[in-house]
Structures are given as C-alpha cells and as structure tokens.
Structure 1
C-alpha cells in the first residue's frame, strides 16, 4: 500500500495502519533468556518510514458502530491500537513525512454489526462489506490506475455514499431517541453536565461492570446542536467512551449511559476520568471529572504434583524407558482465597535449541470443572511417548496450569530419568530417613524431623511428591557395580515413587505399610506474595510510597525484586527465611506523575516466578503536563 500510494498508482482506502516499520531478530542466551534486537527498518518509496505512524489512507473510511454494548462515532475502534501506543516504541528519523500526511477526505459509514459478527465467525469466507463495495464502485467508474483519475472517479461515489450513510446514521440515532441532523445556528449556547455512577462512588469489583450515566442540561436560551462527549483517562479501560446527546432545546436535558465491563484480571487501582464535550456552533459545556476505583478479585494459588503412570500404556514398572508411552497425571490444589475462572493445563517440550526426548500426544487439557474454590483439588491427564532412539539419561519438559481469565498460573520445568528396564532389580527393604531435608523449615504446617524425600522419578531434579519418615521398597535401580542407587516405593494409589539410596537407612527384617494418598503433598507451589494495604488515591502528591509485604515459599528464594514502570528499585538476593516460613520486605518506591505500575517479583529459579502488581497514581507536575503535550 505504501509503495502504490507513494507512486500515485492507487487510491488507498480505510484507516491508518498499525505502524510496524522495524525488523527484529530473537537471539537465545545460554541462561535461557533472550535478546530481541532491531536489525532493520521497512521504508516505503522515497526512503519514507512508517514506523510508529502507519500508512495514511487517501480516503479515510471511519466506521460508526452504534449498538447496545458499543458506541464508536467520533472515535474509531482502531484508535486504541498502534505501534505508537506500545511502551518504549521506536521512532524513526525518516518518518517525518508520514507524520504530516492527512487523508484528503473522510467518510463516516454505519458498520453493520451483524455482518461484522459473520466476518468473525467465518474468517475463511469472502464477505462483501461496505469498504469492499465502496472500492468496487470506484473501480467501475474509472479505467485508469492513476491517482488523479481515481480521485475524479471517486467524487460521485463518495458524494452518494456520504448522503446515504448520513441518512443511515441519523436513522440509527433516532432509534436511540437522539436527534442529530438538526439545523445548526451559530448563536451562543451553553450547558452543564453531571454524572451518575453505578455502583455508587465508582467503586467496582473486577469481573463486574460500571455504569456511567452523563446528563447534559441546556442552561441557555438557545438550542444546543450535535452535543457529544468523550472520556479521557490514564486507564485505557475508561478512555475513549463516547456519549451522544444530539439536539438539546433550552431548559431541557439529555442523558446517555455507557456500561464499562471490568475484566476479571484487573488489578486494584484508582483513576480520574474526564469527560470532554463538543457541540456544533458556538456552544460551551464545561468538562466534568469523576473518580473510579477497581477492586481486584481474590486470586487462586495453584499448587501442583505430578505422577507418572505407565501401567496402562507402558510396561507398568514405574521406570521410563526408550519407546515407552506414559501418562502424566497432574494433580492440583487451590491454596488461594479466590476461585479459578478457567483452567488450561499444558505439557510442552522445551524451547528453541533443546532437543525433545518425547513426542507429546496429549499436551493441552481443559478440566471439566473450571471453577476450583479454596482447598479444592483436581486432576488432569497428559500423554507422551519417549523416543525409541533416546540415549540420554533424562528428559525434560515444561508443565503449566493456567487460569487465562485471571492471568494466574503455576508452572515449572519437569525432569524424568530414563533407564533401560534391565537396570531395575527386586529389592524388598524397609527404608528410614537419615536426615532432615534442608528446606523443610520453609513449609508452614508441614512435616519436621528426619524425612525421606519421595520423588516422581529416580532423578534428584525430579519433583517431590511427599516427605515421609519411613517407607517400604520393592525394587531398586542398580549402577554398573550392582549397587542400589534409587529405591522404588509403592503407594496404595498403585503408583511408584523413588527414594535416593544415599538418603536412606535400610533394614531387611521389617515391613512398612504402603504410602497412603493422604501422605502425598503439593510441593510444586510458586511463592505467595501478600502486600500490606496501600493508599491508591489519585490526588495524593507524594514523591515515594512505601511498599511492604511478605513472601512465603515451599522452596528457598533465588531473589526478590520490586519494579516501578519497568525500572528495578529494590533487589534482595537469596533472602534468608529467618522469619519462619517466609521473608518480610520493605521497599521505598519513587513515583512519577501519572500512573505508576509497581510489580513485586519473587523467584525460586528461572522457571518459577510469582508476580504481584498494583497501580499507584500521583498528580502530574506542570512540567510533566507540558511534556505530554509535546
């Protein structure tokens, strides 16, 4: 489109494009992080960049959407999107010519909502919409591909379309009791506006809706014409909502209600919203302001445990061997205060550069019960097959359970040992713990004293499924000299678990009962972050805010970090869990004018991280307001 437009070989119709004019490459680092590097830019003919600007159409086709749920009249559905709105977007020196370009003309048209839904439901079918039909009509009127002739041909088509669309828009507004196409005079008119919020005071919980009713009263002696309002806010949720009032005679009023849905995943915050009014002719309506507050939902906290089942699809010995098909059973428990909204489990091979040792046959699973309340449990099943020619001693994969609606998840890299079946020998022994695992003191309400660590697979990096003081083995894996290196332990669930031989004392004359299901625990649990209450008021002028909290974890923490607006302001490496089961922290966080996004990160390792976020606002200084205008 850019090439055809710059060479004046086409008439470009539609809305301004996204503005992606740069090329990036992704480089993987040895520590599993990645570097995204910009290596080139796209240029249209004449060495003109569209980066963060987009291609400006010759004729702008601006859709008007008027439904019970959505109002787009003076704004555009595309205004909330674009490269320029992305944080830290690139700006090209060669984009100045693109910035100053404006459409030669603009045509507003009433978008057919039913047709729009049909396009979304049938993405592979060709469905003729207004824009396509408008382009066809122009092509019928011309025999040339030159811009000059195309523009001339478009005059008649554009004129007819404007008349027809104005009529359709006016009819749609009248169906909503809005008189729009009244005769406009330029005598002075004035009005005032007020707002009513439901729930009252604008306090709304995530997952619910805020109804905003704006009423405009004509307080002058002359009528108001084509009155409209639009919201402005630092919060994208409350930005760009349109209120249409149309013609308002003297001493009369008109109201318009917008219902704003707050997603389940919204974080607690307060915002100021401003409604700016415009009207045809010489009219003045002062803007109005109101405050809103979003209360985040209590969130779930998903703790996991997985077990390997090869009894139905494999050889049934609990030991993974090349060529064997295995079912992975993922058990989960909600330890948080909030209920899950939706759950998706995923088993995936590791990323780029990692040779997978498995073929995943069932890697994405959705539980039947999506709503899991506090302390409730569930289980889903994955299926994979180990490669026939796999010769490495272990395989790895990535396991996750996600609530996409609340954006809460629990995930980790998981590891399994791979042994040939001939390495497994019968060995009936009573096993007793030699020592106390070093991190047991982290587990609140957990076991204590000398404990055996039961793992899902005979590998020291495999997940822990339980801690027990004693267990009964029925077999062991031997090394080249015939010495037992891992003991196999059977549970009454008919599953096998594994104990490192170096951690166990053995006796031959004693028999111990099988491990019971209630002894199994959920050790794959990300850290839990609990923040002390913060004042979120938007009108508090403060340079810093003190963020306090507590992190509890079933595993030692790698580090604890606090970021504000993507800038690290607090770092605590390997925090000591001196306070039983957790660590307390205090961070003095600097604030800038506007909205500050504060995030607390608690990491166990590169794969397990918990994040807790909050938005804190501060009034902008005059210098910051001036910088925004630039």
Structure 2
C-alpha cells in the first residue's frame, strides 16, 4: 500500500535506484542516452500533469519547463552521465514540487511517470511497475493464490461467472456459468471494476467470503441467494490436454508459470497411458513467462544440445542452458503450434524444438520478443522490470524482432463481398512494430516458411470469432477446427506403419507432402467455388504476357466525402485494354487510417477488352437480426485520408498503383451538463440527510448542451465506499438526448447499519458509448447522526420570486433550482428546522426556507428552473478545423473557451506531446480563455487534441486529424518511430488502432 506521508520528489527515492540499475545492468549500453532519457521522462510528466509544459528544440542545449506562470530553463547538453541525469532530475523535481502546490496530483505518480518516460527510450519492455501492478503480477506468475476458483468477467455492468474451475470451492458450492454475483460480503458489485472484484474475492486460504448470486433461466432465481465459500489455494491451470482422434495427444500451454512443467509432465503421463503415438504442443497466444519453466519444457523433448543462450554486453555473462538425456520423452512425431501471440518463453521452446529438428512448427510467425527482463524490488512496493540480456536459440540465432518462422505457415481465407480476406493475414502487432524495439545482428530476417497452407474460414465462423471474448472458451475453440485437423492428419500420416525417421522435423515436412497437397487442394477449391458464386474466375492460367489495364477508383460518396456513421465503399473498375488475358488479378489498399488499410479487392481472370469491378467497405461491419451493416464508426473525428490501391497478378503483370483522397466529417457532438442531488427519500426519515440503515437516491439531471444528439447512452452509478454500501438501481440505458433536452436519472443505494466510514463515496457516469463522450462525477455523501424526522405537511406552498430550492434543509447546501418570473406554487411534503420540503416533480424532493414561502398569488409565467452546476467548457476552434490536409510543418489554432463557472486552463496535444498550455488563474474574466498559437506537425497523420478544464473532473476535448503531405501535395507516410524530441514517448501510430 502507498504511504500517506508527505512525499518529497527531490529525494529521488526510486529514480536514483532505476538510474543506477540501468547503468549497471542494461543489455545494450550504447542505447542508454542520459539526454534522451531526460527528455523522454519530461514528456511523460507533461502528459501526466496538466499545468506542466516542456519546451525543447532538437539539438538544443536547454529544455524549458513551465508550471502555471513559473518558467525555468535546465541544461541538457551537460547531461552526459547517470550522475548528471540524477542531478538534473533533482533540480527539475524541486521546481515542479514548489509550483504544483495547488494541483491535485500525487507527487509519487510524477516520479513514476518520469521513470517510465525514461525507460521508454530504451525498449518496449523495460518498465517500472507500480505497487498494485507488481502485486498482481507476482500472483499470476506464482501459478496459485487463495480464491474461489472461478473465471469472471463484466457483462452488462454485472459481475458474471464465465467458468467455474473443477474441484474448487465455487464448483463444489454449485455456482454455474453465467451466474451473476451481485454482492460480495456487504458490498454491491454493480458497475464494480473487474480488478476490484478480483481483489475482493481473493484472500488467504481458509478464510470465508459470502457472495450473493442471481441465476437466469429455468430453475434460476431473481432474488439474490447467499453462498458462503471458504477460500482455497487455487491452482492456475497453465496446461490443458486431451486425446485427439488417431491417438494423437494434445497439450496446450497458456503461459509459463511456476507449475507449468509439473502440469505438463502429468498430462504427458495421462496421454501415454491412453496410447499416445504423436503430440501436438499448442503455444498459440502464449505470452511467455518464466525462463526456467520454458527450459524444462523444451528439455523434456530433447536429449542433448543447447536449448537457449542468454547473451549480454558482457561476454563473461553468457549463460547456456542445455538439454539432458535423463527423463527425455520418446521420439514420437511432434508438431508445435504458434502464432503472432506466441512470445518470449513460448518462442524459446518452439525455437529449440525447431532448430534441433525435434518438432515441426506450424502456424504463424511468432511475436519476436528475444529479450530477457529481470525484476528489482523497491521498498515502496514498486519494481523495475529491466532488459538485461537477449535470448539466442540453438545455433546462436536471435529471434529478436523477427520471431520464429513456422515450417508450415497456416492462414485463413474468407470470401466475402464486403470484407474479403485472400491475402496472408499479418494480423498481430509484433515486436518489430513497437517503438524503440531492440535489434540483433544474429537475427535471420527474411526467412520464409517451407510451405504456406491456406484454409477456408466461412464468413459466419469468422464473425463469431471476431465477436468472441478471450474468456469465451467454448466459442474460441471453433478456431481450432482446421488447425487441429491439419496437425492431427500430418501426425497420423507420420505414425503410420513404415513411416521413416520418426520424430525428425525435416523428414516430417517431406513425408507430409501428400497430406498438405490434398488439404491445400480442398481448401483452395472451396475458396474458388465461393469466388465463382460471386462471378470471379480464380483460374491461375498460363503466362501469356503483359497487358495494359485501365484503372478507375471511386467511392459511393459525392466528392468522396461522408459523415461519420455513414457507409463508405471503395470501388475499383479495371479494363484490360491489351491483347493478353490476366489471371488472379487482385488489389489491396494502403492507408494511414487503420480502417482503410489492407482492404482486398479481387477481379480474377481479366480477358482482353473485359471490364470488372469490385467494391469493399471501408467501415466496420456488424450483424443484428440477420441484417449486416457496414459504416464508418460514429466517433471518428474530422479527417482526410489518402488511399493507395496496389495490384498483383498471378504472373507478375500487375498495373501500377493508384491513389484516391477521402474526407470524413465528424458528427456534431453532444456535451453533458449536469446536476447531482442526494436525497433520503426511498427508505429514510426524510430529513434530507443520509444516515446508516437508510436507502437513498442519487438524482442525476443531465442536459445535452452540445450541438449533436446522443446515440447509445448509458448511465451508471458505482460505489467507491467499500463494505456496507449496496447499489439497487445503478445502471440505465437512456433514450437519445437531442441538443437542449434533459434526462433525469434516478439511482438508489443503501447504507447498511454497520457501515463504518463517515461518508459514502459514489461515482456517477453518463457515456455515449458510440461517440465516446463521457461525464464522470464523484460524490461524497456525509453520513449524518440520527436525527428528528420532519413534520408532514400537505397542500401547496407559494414560493417568492428568486427563492432557492436546496438539496438539504440548510442555507449552505447546494442550490438545485431557483424560482424565476414571479411567485411559483409547488406541492408541500414536510417541514423541518425552518425549511419546507417540496416536490420538484417526478418525486424529487427539495427544501425551501420558510422565509421564502409567500402568500402572494402564483404568477402564470413563473417557473422553477433547475441549475446545472457542472457545465463542461465550450471550445470553439478555428484554423486547424479548416485545415485537415496541409503541406506546412505547422498549423494555426485559434480558440475561444467559455464556461458558465470558470475556465481553469486549456492545452493542446499533437499525438502524445503537449505543445501548448495556457492558465486562466489570473485572468480578468475567469469564465473565458482565448488563445492563438501554432502547433508543429510531423509527416503524415497528426492527432491534434484541444483540452479545456473547468476543474480536475470537468473538462472538454476537441479532436482533429490533420494530414501533412509533401510540398508537392503527394502522400507522406506517418513515421512509426524516431529519435527526435517530437517522437519521444510516442509508441506506434498516433491515434490509430
């Protein structure tokens, strides 16, 4: 747990230890640049803390740091050693600490952010783990913990059991899949974050926990039932096994934990007892884990030779792990399945078995993480994970950045008019795609698989797999069908009587040729038949020479412009204007916008004089009620994109590529102004205060003050109070809210009699999930001592013009509404301490001072106007809004920010780099900020975000995508990495997914 004592940044409590360990142990000292580490850390700090702005020009001698109105320059050119880096951070932290006294920020988090910014300049895997993250990681790698034995997830805001593990407290108690846990002890789970639920369900073995469960369907119950369970040591199953047809064993390793080797040994013994003749070892989506477990797993199948070598900058630290003959498995034929999610320890196993010719590797190229990290624990509970070496597979071959290339590459293909998939799918993000990834001269880049095996995946199956979640084991097993069938048939063929050289990888490839050709022919024939149904001849034909092709690229939108939420199709028409036929003619798109990238178009055989056309959607497709729709997502901001269409042909006679430009207009955005009221009107004494044992309301009045309507809007209430608070009505789906309209949301919660704290902390959220517009309000409800109940009052009361209606019977409580336009009449409910409780409508109570009750006649035009005390700032932007494409290296931004209460500050990001900040602390008008600035652009795509804050919790954003093209107007590609200041701290493509 974090200490609550005041924290002194200038002590560099964690920073100094990190710097020292990087100096002494980092794998590649040449990558350690104190100047780049300083700049990377500063960039991370300005991302984390709003008022901090950092100024630096590439190659400059100084870096400027501004906090509110205070600025100071710090030298960079003399930061040439770890000691100079530490000294400079002490100066900077002292400056930050002295000028951030008014900012609600945890100083320890600033140090953590700075450290992780520094580490990002080294490689993607060196990181400082905060105490909470480190604790969770320790639990997962141990392979066991005290718990109940259930896999849980959040479904529709409810804590849901996905799978009870066999022989655990949960399964013995009779808990089932899809049961809802609505309460843990005396705490509601409605809208509870998953990590919070996990921490509450886990605990010391032998301790008890009570869960309240509902069950839907026949034999279920809607009233929660209590189950008291005794926590036990839960053994995390990292190994799953079963026997496939033909006596082929199957073992899957999910990750390499402390118990993986023992679990695999037991699984092998069970499979041998059933007569296993060959083995499929499945390492797909295995992210790695413990090195010693990977070595022991590989050693089980090898009788000699090096398994893995760890190599660092110090040759004396070279460490070789070798196989031993003792306990080695028999040499039966073996296949290892891998994909782009197989990383680190799983790559060590696959690489060792491949390079020693022990197993055939089948699947997709692996992730390519060949680096070694160790953990250094710190007194504050955090830990440094630092890259200290690189792995080398047998033969001193590095996998860093290139991965393990399978002997037989497997890839699905789907024929779909709107979302074709015939090209080999590069799908996974791999190590080489990460910013600042390590390299190694001994990596074999360019290695290809001996065989590429495509298989046909029906559209329906592909959609089901796309929608399935990782925890949906039953649905995800559908993906295994072809791959397991292929692996099983190869192994059955290899174990037939008379099969030569059992267990030898190279011989297995040669011997499996008949199986491969048969299955490949079947799968390609299926794809060809599906293409033929769409009018495409996929005959490979014979090379009859080149033939010119006329290409026309259009979209279904006028001037290639659409509004977000609409359908956008790319249409490509090709005409063979020559005399020779072309075969298997196809095209693929290239674009910086992920939605527009890697879209396939197919034309097949194109005879002389023939014209063919293919169209593909450039949006996301969903199926509802058997109706399929494809649209560009509603949340996409204003942007302009280039799309390059590249062609290929069976015999190399592809036409040249061509380009088209598109533009998306953002939908008008909603904006949420709101008011929060707490009332003890469900089951309480009605005095306007919340006491233990009462059930109370949270009324959230939301007004759309934006320019556009809402679409899919959800309202949630979450408890942050711990034990003793139960949510009863805490989740709502709202109808669309047009601009200017309001919705009243009525949440309810119960404070149990034994609640120990002095206040209840709640969090209310309203979000348009399709537009990604969100408001969050944290509410602290004080717990009052028992008091006298109000005296009932009937009839109506007339309130004078200007009277304030308050949340509680107190003159200093929040004003909910005000009478305007004359005296107004409202129903009376009760009286207490000089206040009258009135009905504001829809059952919502309010309190009015008795002195504001008048005998005047109510005015016909009088009204009781609700007051929205939280109204996010309104941002009006010029300049950048009209320049979605430019050839300039800077773009102007002129903005006016207004707020009914106050504008605290405003700032601008380009990607993840903050480039402008203005404070409004000393302004003559606290409700308005104006600024005019220019922000830098890198080549290609730039995500420009303007942020304005009313306070720490109430803020607004405007986002623009600006493309910088070459001076001649041609497309410039977006850099993925870079060493200059502009790129520091940026991983991958800004704003893209």
Per the normalisation by structure 2, the TM-score is: 0.52
- More deviation in 578-587 or 302-311? 578-587
* SS of alignment partner, residue 283 of structure 1: coil
| Contact residue 115 and residue 129 of structure 1 kept, 8 A | no
Query: What is the aligned partner in structure 2 of residue 385 from structure 1?
Result: 750
**SS state at 1:174 partner:** helix
C-alpha displacement at 1:68, in angstroms? 2.7
SS at match of 1:7: helix
State the 1:64 CA deviation. Answer: 1.0
Q: CA deviation at 1:187?
A: 2.3
Match of 2:816 in 1: 465
Asked if residue 229 in structure 1 is aligned to residue 599 in structure 2, the reply is: no
Q: In the alignment, what sits opposite 1:441?
A: none
Q: C-alpha distance in 2, partners of 1:66/1:260?
A: 16
- Name the counterpart of 2:678: 308
Q: What do the CA deviations read for 1:556-611 (whole angstroms, capped 9, x no partner)?
A: 23321111121111101235665695322222111121111100111222222211
Match among 336, 354, 363 for residue 730 of structure 2: 363
CA 423–113 in structure 1, closer or farther in 2 if over 3 Å, else same = same
- When the two chains are superposed, the root-mean-square deviation of aligned CA atoms in Å is 4.3
Report the Cα distance in structure 1 between the residues aligned to 2:447 and 2:548, rounded to whole angstroms.
Answer: 35
Deviation at residue 451 of structure 1 after TM alignment: 8.2
CA contact (8 A) 2:544 2:581 kept: no
* Cross-structure match for 1:7: 352
Does the CA-based 8 Å contact 1:53-1:99 persist in structure 2?
Answer: yes
Q: Counterparts in 2 of 1:164-179, with a 5 A limit? A: 164-179=522-537
SS at match of 1:189: coil
Q: Distance in 2 between matches of 1:109 and 1:13?
A: 13
Query: 1:510: how far off?
Result: 6.8
Structure with a larger share of its residues in strand: 1
Which whole-Å CA distance do the structure 2 matches of 1:457 and 1:576 have between them?
36
Structure 1 portions without partners, runs of 5+: 434-446, 477-483
Task: Pick which of 320-329 and 542-551 moved more.
Answer: 320-329
In the alignment, what sits opposite 1:320?
690
Q: How does 1:347-496 map to 2 (within 5 A)?
A: 347-350=717-720, 355=722, 358-367=725-734, 369=735, 371-422=736-787, 454-455=806-807, 465-467=816-818, 474-476=831-833, 490-493=838-841, 495-496=844-845
> Structure 1 residues 620 and 534 mapped into 2: Cα distance closer, same or farther (>3 Å)?
same
Aligned partner (choices 447, 450, 462) of residue 104 of structure 1 = 450
Deviations 1:68-95 (A, max 9, x none): 321111152726x556556xx4513469
Indicate if the aligned counterparts of 1:598 and 1:614 stay in contact, CA closer than 8 A: yes
- Distance of aligned partners of 1:455 and 1:90 in 2 relative to their CA distance in 1, 3 Å threshold: farther
Q: Secondary structure at the match of 2:417?
A: coil
Alignment pair present for 1:218 and 2:583: no
Are the structure 2 counterparts of residues 13 and 386 from structure 1 closer, same or farther at C-alpha, using a change threshold of 3 Å? farther
Query: Which consecutive unaligned segments of at least 5 residues does structure 2 have?
Result: 1-282, 284-346, 496-501, 620-631, 979-993
Q: Could you tell me how far apart the structure 1 residues matched to 2:389 and 2:513 are?
A: 33
Gap change, CA 1:3 and 1:21, over 3 Å in 2: closer
Which residue of structure 2 lines up, in the alignment, with residue 139 of structure 1?
491
- Name the CA shift for 1:513/1:266 in 2 (closer, same or farther; >3 Å): farther
1:192 shift after superposition: 2.6
CA contact (8 A) 1:592 1:620 kept: no
- Aligned-partner Cα distance in 1 for 2:486–2:588: 29
Q: Evaluate the alpha carbon distance shift between residue 133 and residue 270 of structure 1 in structure 2; reply closer, same or farther with a 3 A threshold.
A: same
SS at match of 1:272: strand
> Which string of whole-angstrom CA distances, capped at 9 and with x for unpartnered residues, describes residues 34-70 of structure 1?
x997556997774988776665433221111111321
Shift of residue 283 of structure 1? 1.7
Q: Aligned equivalents of 2:808 and 2:360: distance in 1?
A: 64
**CA distance in structure 2 between the partners assigned to 1:220 and 1:123 by the alignment:** 53
Counterpart of 1:71? 420
Matched, 1:250 2:608: yes
The match for 1:574 is 920
Structure 1 residue 386: Cα displacement: 2.1
Report the Cα distance in structure 2 between the residues aligned to 1:374 and 1:552, rounded to whole angstroms.
18
Q: Report the CA distance between 1:254 and its aligned residue.
A: 1.6
Residues 964, 972 of structure 2: 8 Å contact kept: no
Is 1:124 the counterpart of 2:474 in the alignment? yes
Contact 2:805/2:846, CA 8 A, preserved across alignment = no
Give the 5 Å matches for 1:249-288: 249-261=607-619, 262-288=632-658
Spell out, residue by residue over 1:2-44, the C-alpha distance to the aligned partner (whole angstroms, 9 max, x if none): 243122154343334566789899x9xx9xxxx9975569977
1:331 to 701, 705, 726: 701
Write out per-residue CA displacement over residues 234-265 of structure 1, whole angstroms, 9 at most, x where no aligned residue.
11121111111122122222211112221111
1:220 to partner: Cα distance: 2.3
Matched-pair contact (CA < 8 Å) for 1:193–1:287: no
Give distance in 2, aligned partners of 1:426 and 1:108: 79
- The one of 549, 565, 580 equivalent to 2:895 is 549
Q: C-alpha separation between the residues in 1 aligned to 2:852 and 2:611?
A: 92
Paired residue for 2:406? 57
Secondary structure in 2 matching 1:373? coil
Aligned to 1:241: 599
Label 1:607 to 1:595 Cα distance change in 2 as closer, same or farther (>3 A).
same
SS in 1 for 2:523: helix
Report the CA distance between 1:153 and its aligned residue. 4.8
CA spacing shift, 1:507–1:243, aligned 2, 3 Å: closer
What is the CA–CA distance in structure 1 between the aligned matches of 2:605 and 2:613, rounded to whole Å? 12
User: Alpha-carbon deviation of 1:149?
Assistant: 5.3
Say which is worse superposed, 339-348 or 302-311, in terms of deviation.
Answer: 302-311
Shift of 1:198: 1.5
- Does the C-alpha gap of structure 1 residues 326 and 96 become closer, same or farther in structure 2, counting only changes over 3 Å? farther
| Partners of 2:400 and 2:439 within 8 A in 1 | no
The aligned counterpart of 1:564 is 910
Q: Is the 8 A contact 2:414 2:527 kept in 1?
A: no
Does residue 522 (structure 1) correspond to residue 892 (structure 2)? The answer is: no
Sort the Cα spacing of 1:457 and 1:258 in 2 relative to 1 into closer, same or farther, 3 A. farther
Alignment pair present for 1:589 and 2:935: yes
Instruction: Measure, in 2, the Cα distance between the counterparts of 1:393 and 1:134.
Output: 64
Write 1 or 2 for the structure with the bigger share of helix: 2
**What is the aligned counterpart of 1:208 among 550, 553, 566?**
566
Could you say what secondary structure the match of 2:425 adopts? Answer: coil
In the aligned structure 2, how far is the partner of 1:361 from the partner of 1:49?
Answer: 57
Please identify, of 69-78 and 335-344, the stretch whose mean Cα deviation from structure 2 is larger: 69-78
**SS in structure 1 at match of 2:460:** helix
Distance of 1:518 and 1:96 partners within structure 2: 77
Is contact 1:345-1:365 (8 Å) kept? yes
The TM-score, its normalising length taken from structure 1, stands at: 0.80
| Residue equivalent to 2:290 | none
In 2, Cα distance between equivalents of 1:279 and 1:629: 33
Q: Distance in 1 between matches of 2:714 and 2:633?
A: 18
Distance in 2 (CA, whole Å) between partners of 1:366 and 1:335 is 19
Distance verdict in 2 for CA 1:389–1:44, change over 3 Å:
farther
Contact 1:415 1:463 in 2 (8 A): no
Is the Cα contact below 8 Å between 2:686 and 2:789 reproduced in 1? no
**Cα 1:389–1:90 shift into 2, 3 Å:** farther
The alpha carbon displacement at 1:614 in A equals 0.2
Report deviation, 1:407.
Answer: 0.8
1:151 partner SS = helix
Distance in 2 between the 1:53 and 1:222 partners? Answer: 40
8 Å contact 1:457–1:463 — kept in the other structure?
no
| Secondary structure class of the residue paired with 2:938 | coil
The 1:173/1:508 distance shift into structure 2, 3 A limit, reads: closer
Query: Are 2:705 and 2:740, in contact at CA under 8 Å, matched by a contact in 1?
Result: yes
